[in-house]
Amino acid sequence: MKYISTRGEAEKLDFEGVTLTGLARDGGLYVPESLPKFSVDKIRRFRGKPYADVAFEVIQPFVAGCVSDADLKAMLDATYGTAFRHPAVAPLVQMDANDWLLELFHGPTLAFKDFALQLLGRFFDHFTAKRGEKLTILGATSGDTGSAAIEGCRGRDNVMIYMLHPKGRVSDVQRRQMTTVLEDNVVNIAVEGNFDDCQALVKACFNDLDFRDRVGLTAVNSINWARVMAQVVYYFTSAAALGAPDREISYTVPTGNFGDIFAGYIAKGMGLPIRQLVVATNKNDILARTLKTGSYRADGVFATLSPSMDIQVSSNFERLIFDLAGRDAAEVRSYMETLSVEKGFDLKADHLEKLRASFAASQADDDVTRAMMKRVYEASGYVADPHTAVGIASAEACNTDKSVPMVTLSTAHPAKFGGAVKEATGVDPDLPAHMADLLSREERLITLPNDVAALQARIMQGM
Ligand SMILES: *Cc1c(COP(=O)(O)O)cnc(C)c1O
């Protein structure tokens, strides 16, 4: 399998190359040259199989030639056999006659990002060992990505991970999920600045190509193809459990950077009969506005009860635009050029039509989110986190055919956002047992000024 850039001007790479590169050198995102297609017989055989076995079938065509079947099997068994606390890994919970939640928060950091980052850490290990090279991961986080990336990389031999967060501006639980990881290859950095400053520091390091090559810099944000790939699996396991391929299934996905729902679109492209893909957004509703008006326009970032969806533009949307434009990289370059100059662009009519054929969208603000958490709790006793509540509200708003099962992705454990949950439901959700003592564990972190030179010097020190 070869991968091409959405902007058409970077070299084609194999799976190993895209995993270690992240963002393409032409500024684009890597996508598979073509998708594997699964027969109905193959999908039918997924029913009742362990999660790791379906993961092998789904992922194997994407990594073939770079990872042997035996190595892939061992990595998947280790990832989904031991790192997740529920035997089904991604269990379905029935909420109503034909409404379901897909719980994706049973991994080590309690959000769906563990599905991809637990596996990505193992791919990093595998490829660096093979090449005899070292890798430096650099990221900035305002929430869930940082802890999931650190958990995925902790203790790995050839990987150093540096994670920046804005000093004093992440919640205690979120900070401690990162800073209580004490392995020597993990460096938590509190930056004297805000989240945008952290992101700007990361970007400056990546744009310094000399520095980038010297330390082997790699990204773990959701533009890394391996992350999207890992997330395709749970669409197949959940759909098969509910009767696919012999019936259609719909999905609603709490969305920020468009990575998780794009994985659903890939599953559909591989032959999974998905009826609706509903984009659920909070007040940061650029995607819902785009579906309505065809105009993709940045609009500032609002802080909400569902902070992991507080984004200005959705980086993975570029992958979809590439398809909407008939995989014409020149069209993508022209859209992205307009975006960077004018902070927005208007989709061409035929591209908008294609977007609407595959996706619906709905927005839920904080009032709706709170009301939904309360309603779900009072109706069923189920405690949903705020991101999931945005999803449930959007599923309800967009579900056009009640005879088709609607699966809403439950992206975080309620205890991760305990304050908002308690305010809405009166219930103070407990952290799971493996994290019960989180607030009393030893922390390790350093503080740096908002300064690229200081950051680069600290990273060089770890080489
Ligand atoms: C990251 C995240 C999202 C958004 O996922 P994207 O792939 O960025 O669209 C939603 N909910 C939670 C809890 C998250 O951590």
Q: Considering the chain, what percentage of its residues have pLDDT values greater than 90? A: 84
Can you read off the two tokens belonging to residue 283?
Answer: 């007040």
Q: Please tell me if the CB atom of residue 260 comes closer than 6 angstroms to any atom of ligand 1.
A: yes
Joined tokens for residue 293: 């008006």
The per-residue pLDDT for 284 is 94
Among residues 372, 437, 308, 327, which one has the least CA distance to residue 101? 372
5-19: average pLDDT: 96
Q: Is 103 in the pocket of ligand 1 (CB under 6 A)?
A: no
Task: Report the pLDDT averaged over residues 199-221.
Answer: 88
Q: Residue type for 47, please?
A: R
**Is 412 near ligand 1, meaning CB less than 6 Å away?**
yes
Atom of ligand 1 at shortest range from CA of 113: 15
* Pocket of ligand 1 contains residue 387 by CB under 6 Å: yes
pLDDT of residue 153: 96
Which residue ranges make up each domain of the chain? Answer: 92-109+226-425
Residue with CA at minimum distance from ligand 1 atom 11: 411
113 is catalytic: yes
Q: What length is written for the chain?
A: 463
pLDDT of residue 399: 87
Ligand 1 atom showing the smallest separation from residue 258 Cα: 9
Under a CB-based contact definition with an 8 Å cutoff, are residues 211 and 455 in contact? no
Taking the C-alpha atoms of residue 3 and residue 331, their distance in angstroms, rounded to an integer, is 18
**If we measure between CA atoms, which residue out of 361, 407, 53, 89 comes closest to residue 247?**
407
- Which tokens is 285 given? 């509703």
Ligand 1, atom nearest to 259 Cα: 7
Answer whether residue 454 shows pLDDT above 90: yes
pLDDT at res. 322: 98
How far is 61 from 227, CA to CA, in rounded Å? 15
The answer, yes or no, to whether any atom of ligand 1 lies below 6 A from the CB of 113, is: yes
pLDDT(400) > 90: no
Side chain identity at residue 387, one-letter code: H
**Which two three-digit tokens encode residue 335?**
């859209």
For residue 205, give the nearest of 219, 192, 195 by alpha carbon. 219
Q: What is the mean pLDDT of the chain?
A: 95
Q: Domain 92-109+226-425: which CATH class?
A: alpha beta
| DSSP per residue, 219-266 | --STTSHHHHHHHHHHHHHHHHHTTTTSS-EEEEEE-SSSHHHHHHHH
Helical (H) or strand (E) element with 41: helix 40-44
Pocket test for ligand 1, best of 171, 308, 388 (most atoms within 8 A of CB): 308
Cα 308 to ligand 1 centre (Å): 5
| Closest approach atom of ligand 1 to CA 412 | 13
Q: What is the largest CA-CA distance in the chain?
A: 59
Cross-strand partners of 295: 346
Rounded mean pLDDT of 383-398? 97
- Which range is least confidently modeled, 83-92, 167-176, 320-329? 167-176
Question: Which of 2, 42, 73, 113 is flagged as catalytic?
Answer: 113
Distance CA 355, CA 347 (A): 10
Planar angle of CA 82, 306, 304, nearest 5 degrees: 160
Non-local (6+) Cβ contacts of 375 within 8 A are none
Amino acid (1-letter code) at residue 445: L
Ligand 1 touching residue 111 (CB < 6 A)? yes
Residue by residue, DSSP assigns 331-365 as HHHHHHHHHHHHSEEE--HHHHHHHHHHEEEEE--
